[in-house]
Amino acid sequence: MSASLTTEKIEQGGTAGVAEIRELYGRLAARKIILLLFLFVLLIAVALVATATGAAGISVADVCRVIAGKIIPGLHLAPSSDVAETVIMELRLPRILLAALTGLSLAGAGVVMQGILRNPLVDPYTLGLSSGAAFGAALAIVLGTGILGASFNIMGRYLIVTNAFIFGSLTMVLVYGIARLKGTVPETLLLAGVAFGYLFSAGVSALKYISENEALKELVVWLMGGLWGASWDTILVLLPVVLICLGLLVRYAWDLNALGAGEDVAISLGVNVGRLRLVTLALATLISSATIAFTGIIGFIGLIAPHICRILIGGDNRFLIPCACLTGGVLLLLADTLARVVLAPVEIPVGIVTSLIGTPFFIYLLLKRKRQWWS
């Protein structure tokens, strides 16, 4: 009788323990969801303020009126200035949307690459993707030719975009191909990316050396990173690519969590580690190459945003990936707004601003964080 009572108490205690764990998990998940909603609202607020900021005096209320009038059919809300609608819709809003999409892409790619390779210093630049894209753009700017045989006179700016995208993607294909020969271990992927990064950087330097003054100036400006090429055509190309790829990356969040516990654990849980690395790296490469092709080299967003979010929200990729994306969008919007206004009417390339802000902030994170990055 006493034995059965003891067993019953143990079972009741176990049930209570499970219920308590579930309640705790629910509270933590709710907090993370609230944080994601806050970041989403913050992204929208920063975007509205950034759209209103510039040489032409436009209020946030005017921005809201113009956007609401375009979104809601039949709603006619006239802004206070006749030129406000033109400035907002043709000049500023495409740039703001491109900045947000680029921040989403680079941060999302960075957090996935860091998770796949289990290395806190990995981002699209570290794996050579940015160097490959820079070499493709340099070919178009300096030599006026593309990998597909097109001429700069025919395609113009789109040749730079096409070359940058192709060479950025080609870099990851080469990196993964070499890593496959050695078993696709994270160390091989990282070292192969560094090697190809140096190779393409040498190619860019050689093209700089032989380029004429105008081509050299254009190449240097492109390498600094900027959002000057923003247009509604650009947004229409990037928007579906970014949203679809990020949605697919979030779909692999559970597998990434399993891989975070180690390859042996992930394999024992039924995760195909090789396929997971191939698919997620391909998706991260696609969104990174697509955005870099239009904006040039913008550093530190893919490196800093994931670290900030690991501190804020933890390592669960179901929440970490969207958190890093939203944080990357906010950071790049703030950096671009600062680049436009700090020396107005002169505009600083946003890649310079992200590097100036990102370097000391990243050093601060390294000094402040006392426990290991991967725990």
Residue 80 confidence (pLDDT)? 65
Residue 86: Cβ within 10 Å count: 13
**Structure confidence by residue, pLDDT tens digits, 90-115:** 889 999 999 999 999 999 999 999 98
**Cβ of 19: how many Cβ atoms within 10 Å?**
10
Check whether domain 45-368 has CATH 1.10.3470.10, yes or no? yes
Show the low-confidence residues of the chain (pLDDT under 70): 1-18, 77-81, 145-157, 183-184, 369-375
Domain segments of the chain: what residues?
A: 45-368
Tell me what pLDDT residue 153 has.
Answer: 47
| pLDDT on residue 154 | 45
In this predicted structure, what is the pLDDT of residue 213?
Answer: 79
Tens-digit pLDDT profile for residues 59-83 = 888 888 888 888 887 777 666 667 8
